[in-house]
Structure 1
């Protein structure tokens, strides 16, 4: 794209700084969620706050970039499970993978629990479509109840994450929810 709105490619040092900011933000958001100060992200990246703002106009845009990267990785996990010989176990395994990743990353957890929030970009759309396809395949195999729609998955996932986050260690309360998804 060479039109008037195309951005010139970043210099090598600017690319490195951007990558450092993203890596530091990923770590900081995973630890503290959206409440982490931008100055702390800049400190972790070893750059000034101005460098952060040059690449990301707001903390929210940086947060979104970090979360979209996590969502893209989860989408790849879903794609891998679309070819599973047993769609039911693949569907429930994916729910577990998402929950594990979200529990390790407060930013991802917050984004997934927010039912999409401002994550309207393609990676989030892909995630939801792929998750929906996993559901349809599991339903066709008779492993998941038929009265669920792909649109229900965001709310179910948010509930599953909340249950897992608030239950005592060693308690599998999320299993109550997933057992309720199984076909009888």
Structure 2
């Protein structure tokens, strides 16, 4: 069995500066998509990232591939936030709802709602990487909510889909604002806190319908 030489391994391993450039492009694209929508010129994204246009195309063949990786980056961060919240809830079960609340406030800062129109237009929802990302998020957020239920702090008629719909809707820019509403963050977190207060047990009133699942929401969307 042949073993690759150190020179061969270096040749096939992405250089650290190339990885940094890729991360900067993805971060810049996310910011620009949230602020200006899917049609923002790629050269503007390159300028925001501090790289040349050729560097963008060296990493991403086209806009759709860039959008794909922006979504994977966002879902990875949201899932990591939820995993950290689960660990916090396990460490202090009496504070399970506080861990859920902190996760929700951190997650809305990812602005997934502002990205949803771009995602629905550009991406294949059945792509294996996107499917795996959804499964990961759904599983870990459900685990977090289950901790809060067991602590008697989360009402029992709420599903993962209910929470994720709220996070998405709260981060969609208001019509006519172009995503540039002054001090938008303060309204997002204020209204999110009102929603979270409604999730706490004991419930003030029964909810119509049934808890939403992400699978059901995907089926209705397609």
Structure 1 length-normalised TM: 0.71
8 Å contact 2:113–2:172 — kept in the other structure?
Answer: no
For the aligned residue pairs, the C-alpha RMSD in angstroms reads: 3.2
Structure 2 length-normalised TM: 0.61
Is the aligned partner of 1:47 residue 2:52? yes
8 Å contact 1:18–1:55 — kept in the other structure?
Answer: no
**Alpha-carbon separation, structure 1, partners of 2:60 and 2:184:** 38
Specify the alignment match of 1:180 in structure 2: 198
What is the CA deviation profile of residues 68-98 of structure 1, one whole-angstrom value per residue up to 9, with x for unaligned ones? 2232222222112213212111111111111
**Alpha-carbon separation, structure 2, partners of 1:80 and 1:11:** 29
Specify the alignment match of 1:161 in structure 2: 171
**Alpha-carbon separation, structure 2, partners of 1:101 and 1:42:** 20
Gaps of 5+ in 2: 1-10, 203-222
Change over 3 Å in CA distance of 1:19–1:60 after alignment to 2: farther
Q: CA deviation at 1:25?
A: 3.7
Larger Rg: 2
Change over 3 Å in CA distance of 1:98–1:129 after alignment to 2: same
Count of residues paired in the alignment: 167
Q: CA deviation at 1:161?
A: 2.8
**Alpha-carbon separation, structure 1, partners of 2:162 and 2:186:** 27
Specify the alignment match of 1:4 in structure 2: none
Of the three residues 111, 114, 128, the one matched with 1:110 is 114
**Alpha-carbon separation, structure 1, partners of 2:147 and 2:53:** 49
The 5 A counterparts of 1:3-42 are 9=12, 12=15, 16-17=17-18, 19-33=20-34, 34-42=38-46
8 Å contact 1:163–1:173 — kept in the other structure?
Answer: no
What is the CA deviation profile of residues 114-166 of structure 1, one whole-angstrom value per residue up to 9, with x for unaligned ones? 6x854624334312221111112111211111111223332122233349987
**Alpha-carbon separation, structure 1, partners of 2:193 and 2:173:** 9
Gaps of 5+ in 1: 1-7, 103-107
8 Å contact 2:105–2:192 — kept in the other structure?
Answer: no
